Structure 1
Amino acid sequence: MPNHEAIYREEAAQYHEMIARQPDLLSVIEEIVPLRGLDVVDIGAGTGRLSAALAPAANSLVALDAAEAMLDITAERLRAAGLDNWSVRVADHRELPLQGGSADLIVAGWSVCYLASVNVPDWERNLEQVIGEIKRVLRPGGTIILFETMGTGYETPSPPEFLLPYYRKLTDTYGFSHRWIRTDYEFDDADQAERLTRFFFGDELADRVAADKLSRLPECAGIWWLKPR
């Protein structure tokens, strides 16, 4: 399996080429909370998959990520869109560089999992810290929305075993609501599909993409949301 931490540091442009093949999630988020006029924080913002969709409707947006190279692309995208209501900062999910009670909505796309996988030491403590920081930064009545994988290369949910305890914690311990959606990759052709799948997901999935000459790679994603009391 490719080293995702190295990809985020060193190959942000190719990563963005890949995730740009997925659908816009603005409508999914607005089914949970209307965005107009909100102060939004995107933690683990990456190259702006969520930030670029949310910023035009938000009052303000702060994009946070541990990899500066990823945030450079987010900043380029927001600047190119003619927006001036945003900022980017390098940050760890467990220590957000933001004032308490400063956000109406905090989103995290496919990022908390890197701290909350059972393969990570002290994952439960990590998750407790992340949720605690999010709640500290949220205003009363604010909303948390988390996106995580439910399986790439699958038509229906098939989440990785090492993430299931984390997912159970979200619903059973922290009280999140949950549903799943499809976030398929629509590549230009089978060659692009194989190249980008191999780059991020590794040889096993890429070999299947190549053998079947796929240009659409199915993927399922989970959405967890909470309005803390």
Structure 2
Amino acid sequence: MPDHDAIYKSEAETYDLLISKQPSLYDVIESIQPVEGLDILDLGAGSGRLTRVLAPKAKSILAIDASEAMLQVTADKLQEAGLLNWATRVADHRDLPVLDNSYDLIVSGWSICYLGSSGDPNWKENIHQVMAEIKRVLRPGGSAIIFENFGTGSTVPSPPSFLRAYFDLLEKEYGMSHTWIRTDYQFDSLEEAERLSRFFFGDDLAQQVIREGWIQLPECAGVWWLRFPPTSRIPRF
């Protein structure tokens, strides 16, 4: 499996090309929480997959990520679009450098999972810290929406085994609603499909792309959301 940390630090442009092959998630977010006029925090923004589609409607948007290189791609794209209502900041999900009750909506795409892998002995505490931070910075009545991998190369949900306990935690301990959607990659050619799938997902999936002749690489994404009312409480451990 490719080293994603290294990709995020040194190959942000290629990563951005990969995710540009997926559909916009604006309508999914809008169906859960209308975004116009909101102050929005994009947690683990990466190269701006969500930031760039939400910024035109938001009052303000802050993109946070651990990778400065990824945030530079985000900044470049927002500047090209002529938008002025945004900022970027390098930070850890578990210690957000923002004030209490400062955002109406928090979104996070394919990011919190890196702290929730069962291969990390501290995964559960990591998730508790992230959720406590989300609750801290949301305004009363604010919403959180999380997107995660629910099966790449599959037309039906097939979540990675090492993330299933994290997903269960979101629903059972934090009461988040859940559904799944298709987020297929639509490549320009089989060569591009093979090259970009190998770049991020590794040799096994790339070989499957070749065998299946997939110019459209199927993928499922899980979606979790929750509105935090004024009386909501995040469990403390």
TM-score tier, shorter chain, comes to over 0.9
What do the CA deviations read for 1:38-83 (whole angstroms, capped 9, x no partner)?
Answer: 0000010000000000000000000000000000000011111110
Q: Which runs of no fewer than 5 residues in structure 2 stay unpaired?
A: 230-237
Q: In 2, distance between residues paired with 1:211 and 1:153?
A: 12
Q: In 2, distance between residues paired with 1:120 and 1:83?
A: 39
Please name the residue that 1:67 is paired with: 67
Please name the residue that 1:44 is paired with: 44
1:212 CA displacement: 2.1
Q: In 2, distance between residues paired with 1:37 and 1:212?
A: 44
User: The residue matched to 2:34 in structure 1 has which SS?
Assistant: coil
Q: In 2, distance between residues paired with 1:94 and 1:121?
A: 16
Q: In 2, distance between residues paired with 1:213 and 1:223?
A: 28
Letter in 2 for 1:31: S
Letter in 2 for 1:3: D
User: The residue matched to 1:41 in structure 2 has which SS?
Assistant: strand
Alignment of 1:119-198 (within 5 A): 119-198=119-198
1:2 is aligned to 2:5: no
Please name the residue that 1:57 is paired with: 57
1:18 is aligned to 2:11: no
1:37 CA displacement: 0.3
Q: In 2, distance between residues paired with 1:215 and 1:118?
A: 32
1:121 CA displacement: 2.3
Q: Give the alignment's TM-score, normalised by structure 1.
A: 0.99
Alignment of 1:25-36 (within 5 A): 25-36=25-36
User: The residue matched to 1:227 in structure 2 has which SS?
Assistant: strand
Q: Which runs of no fewer than 5 residues in structure 1 stay unpaired?
A: none
Letter in 1 for 2:159: P
Q: In 2, distance between residues paired with 1:200 and 1:222?
A: 19
Q: In 1, distance between residues paired with 2:132 and 2:149?
A: 22
Please name the residue that 1:80 is paired with: 80
Q: In 2, distance between residues paired with 1:208 and 1:167?
A: 26
1:228 CA displacement: 1.6
